[in-house]
A and B are shown apart, each in its own frame.
Chain A
Amino acid sequence: MILASVLTTNLAILVLAGFIGFVVISKVPNTLHTPLMSGTNAIHGIVLLGGLLLLGLPGLDGLSKGLLVIAVAFGTINIVGGFLVTDRMLEMFKSKPKPSPKAEVEPEDEEASK
């Protein structure tokens, strides 16, 4: 009975999380597709937690430990690399402080001709 409730609770979480995922990404401009993909990509690096939890198990043999270290390393690459790359991509969308090599004064444009 308790088992069933653990399973059903987790299934409920699973289903609700799925709906959240659908709802959050409703309308995305094309320009942001790649950064968004990269950002969600970083989030599934959460599998790192699985590796961390398993490393806490007693009685792991050498091979298991080795596999888990690789898994933790992979998960870390996924997270750290993913977020950093996304950040770099998004930096490009920020309006840069523009060096204006030529003083092209616009008669009707107050903003540009400061």
Chain B
Amino acid sequence: MNPPLATTFLQSESFIYVLYIVAFGLFIQGLRGLSGPTGAVRGNRTAAVGMAIAVVATLLNPGEGNWGLIALGLALGTAVGVPAARNVKMTAMPQMVALFNGVGGGAVALISWVEFRHYGSTYGSHTIHLFGETGSVAITAGGPPTYVAIFSVFAAIVGSISFWGSNIAFGKLQEVIPGRPISFGSAQQGVNAVLLILALAAGIDLVAGAHSELLFIGMLIVAALLGNAVVLPIGGADMPVVISMLNAFTGLSAAATGMALNNPALIVAGMIVGASGTILTNLMATAMNRSIPAIVAGGFGGGGAVEGASGAGEHAGTVRSTTAADAAIQLAYASRVVVVPGYGMAVAQAQHAVRELASELEQRGVDVKYAIHPVAGRMPGHMNVLLAEADVPYDQLKEMDDINPEFQRTDVSLVIGANDVTNPAAHNTPSSPIYGMPILEVDDSRSIIVIKRSMNPGFAGIENELYFDPKTSMLFGDAKSAVSEITAELAQL
């Protein structure tokens, strides 16, 4: 039991709270920065400073002890976290985020478990000292108030779901577990419902005063199974949305832990993440043309496949559409951009708009080249003529054989109204009618923006696998107006 902490520590209690308030400010400011391209780096660092302040403030807490163990935990975490974050490949980022999210959820679940162990032994016989955090809270005999138990149990369930769900998401993205949906088929929803009811029932029993630690562990396990059961049926392409959703879950569970521990730092930071994570999940789902219920029910409905995928063989995946503003940001931060013009540019007479966009990019120090496929457009040299008309310097126009090796070093390929000449099926799909045709290997570049009027197949009448590549985003619209819009957005950056 804690010594009564009252007025003697009031000064430092207030100080700790002030530090927490500073930390909130930094979190909020940091998130604001992260939601725009110019302040993102600073925003992230601002939030990190806020976190450091919150940790230091907590360590100032007069009730703090077990310094050796604290140091051990911090050292272990740093020893694992820093190299993991430093060494992970850029392509493996999403699963790394999933993993970091998972351990956060795991921490919540473990903390709830210890809370239960601690309260379980003192239940009904002790003064409540809500963890020495605030002297003003020490009151009443008879165990912690019910709401503490409710929040603690809630945090345990959600934390456990988040931990296991994130690990499954990691496994799928890392391809340790097959990315395709794994499910019980039509029984899936029923299984999930049963697991959820079991977890809730155990939780209610615990809140009502069941002192069994076994029951608590059982609840954690059921929640773990639920986390597995929810994420396993979801296809790999939807994983980023799922990770974002689990991220929001972990935030909520952290807020619940804060309610149980009467710690405002946890409440505020956890809830901000819970709320912004929910919004973000929604934004991501919208950007991918998916609805969240459809994703969560993915295994059930067998969703995730693209309608109209035919001809070029199976490609499970979704088409990601983008906006002119996003395309502008993507281009502005690239160092090498290759423009791949096609018939669409010719039809829209967009060559002057393209030239303007390129000038704008070059003023920002972006290296711009044009990749000219021999059969781009409807006649050989069609593109060269059009671009020359728009005063594009000739040495920026690259023939297919010259530019193909360069795509690997290209940050963004901007495909304007070209289709079949970029279709990787020519390399990958022997059954495809265009198999063997030489193509511009835009799928080698780090990201691809395709400006196209619709998803209609091109001249050869076949689907373009490129559009389903996760690196590809589609900007639907007339080539000329789309390019002009990007240029306008670029000018505002």
A binding-site residues for B, Cβ under 8 Å: 2-3, 6-7, 10-11, 13-14, 17-22, 24-61, 63-65, 67-96, 98, 100, 104, 106-109, 111-112
Q: With the chains together, A100 CA to B64 CA distance in Å?
A: 56
- B333–A93 touching, CB < 8 Å: yes
Min distance, Cβ B270 to any Cβ of chain A, angstroms: 6
- A6–B262 touching, CB < 8 Å: yes
Which of A28, A29, A67, A89 gathers most chain B CB within 10 Å?
Answer: A29
Min distance, Cβ B355 to any Cβ of chain A, angstroms: 10
Q: With the chains together, A46 CA to B253 CA distance in Å?
A: 11
- A49–B41 touching, CB < 8 Å: no
Taking CB as reference atom, which chain A residue is nearest B162?
Answer: A44
B97 in complex: contacting residue of A7, A45, A61, A85, CB < 8 Å: A85
Tell whether B94 is near chain A: CB-to-CB under 8 Å: yes
Please name all residues of chain A whose beta carbon is closer than 8 Å to the beta carbon of B472 when the two chains form the complex. none
Which of A38, A45, A49, A81 gathers most chain B CB within 10 Å?
Answer: A49
Question: Which of B81-89, B223-231, B308-316, B430-438 faces chain A?
Answer: B81-89
A78 in complex: contacting residue of B2, B43, B104, B332, CB < 8 Å: B104
A-facing residues in B216-260 (Cβ within 8 Å): 240, 243-244, 247, 250-251, 253-255, 257-259
Which of A11, A17, A64 gathers most chain B CB within 10 Å?
Answer: A17
B binding-site residues for A, Cβ under 8 Å: 1-2, 27-28, 30-32, 34-37, 40-41, 43-45, 47-48, 51, 54-55, 58-59, 61, 63-66, 69-70, 72-74, 76-78, 80-82, 84-86, 88, 90, 93-94, 96-97, 99-101, 103-104, 106-108, 110-111, 113-115, 117-118, 130-134, 136-137, 139-140, 145, 147, 240, 243-244, 247, 250-251, 253-255, 257-259, 261-280, 283-284, 287, 320, 322-323, 325-326, 329-330, 332-333, 335, 359, 362-367, 391, 393, 395-396, 473
Q: List 18 A-B contacts (CB under 8 A).
A: A17-B271, A18-B274, A25-B283, A37-B247, A37-B280, A40-B276, A44-B247, A46-B54, A50-B266, A52-B55, A56-B63, A56-B64, A59-B1, A67-B113, A68-B111, A72-B69, A83-B45, A98-B367
Given that A37-B277, A50-B261 are known contacts, is A98 also in contact with B44, CB under 8 Å in the complex?
no
